[in-house]
Amino acid sequence: MVDKNHYGRPWYPTIGTIIIPDENILPLTVNQTTLKNGYSYPNNAIEPYLMRKLENIPFEELTIGTKASLTRTLTEEDLLLFAKVSGDTNPVHLDEEFAATTQFEGRIAHGMWTASIISCALATKLPGPGGIYLGQELKFMRPVKVGDTVTVELEILEINEQRKRATVSTNVVNQHGKAVVKGKAEIMPSSGKVVVDEYPLPEVVLKPAD
């Protein structure tokens, strides 16, 4: 679990890839970039991120049947972080002993974690930046557990030329090809090409037991 970062210090397993040195060890006054939201990163960590671009599929280029997908494996950290950000402390997500007594026979992810991956796929792939998220229907079909790999499958179902809107199928399957979520989204894609820098994510550290 313990690795070394580029300052030669041990680091803790983290969810992301940018490591911020503890200011008790290394003052953050050297070689740093301060972001517009007030968070700062060492330049050598941020540079690879600034190279990445997000680009949209403009409304004019969408056709019925246009597809995109996004695959993600649920980690223990994802599950804990989603509990944290949602405030959902229900033990079916967090307490293995309690969850084992339920019909799920173990801890399950929050359904909205899977929905957040759908949202990520819409915001970054189809239609991508510049689009507006108008609505989402979700049917939770099966639980997702730590270690499961989910694939969001997006496909344009309908296009409303007059209102510049589209309906997107947003089904999610697990590594066994079984439906985890079924549903669809209403979006208003941007007209014209939008290319933006993918914004770097903050460092997040969860402290595990030794």
| Residue ranges in 26-65 that form contacts with a second copy under rule CB under 8 A | 28-29, 34-40, 54
The one among 51, 162, 177, 209 contacting a second copy by CB under 8 A? 209
**65/103 with CB nearer a second copy:** 103
Lookup: tokens for 148 = 């499961």
Can you say how many angstroms the Cα of residue 166 is from the centroid of all Cα atoms in its chain?
Answer: 22
**Which string of x and - marks every residue 117-156 that binds a second copy (by CB under 8 A)?**
xxxx--xx---xxx--xxxxxxxx----------------
The one among 95, 105, 149, 192 contacting a second copy by CB under 8 A? 95
The one among 113, 166, 168, 171 contacting a second copy by CB under 8 A? 113
By CB under 8 A, residue 13 contacts a second copy: no
Half-sphere exposure of 23 (CA within 13 A, CB side): 6
Cβ proximity of 94 and 141 under 8 Å: no
Question: Alpha-carbon distance 42 to 76, whole Å?
Answer: 27
By CB under 8 A, residue 25 contacts a second copy: yes
By CB under 8 A, residue 208 contacts a second copy: yes
Question: Alpha-carbon distance 134 to 206, whole Å?
Answer: 33
Cβ proximity of 190 and 56 under 8 Å: yes
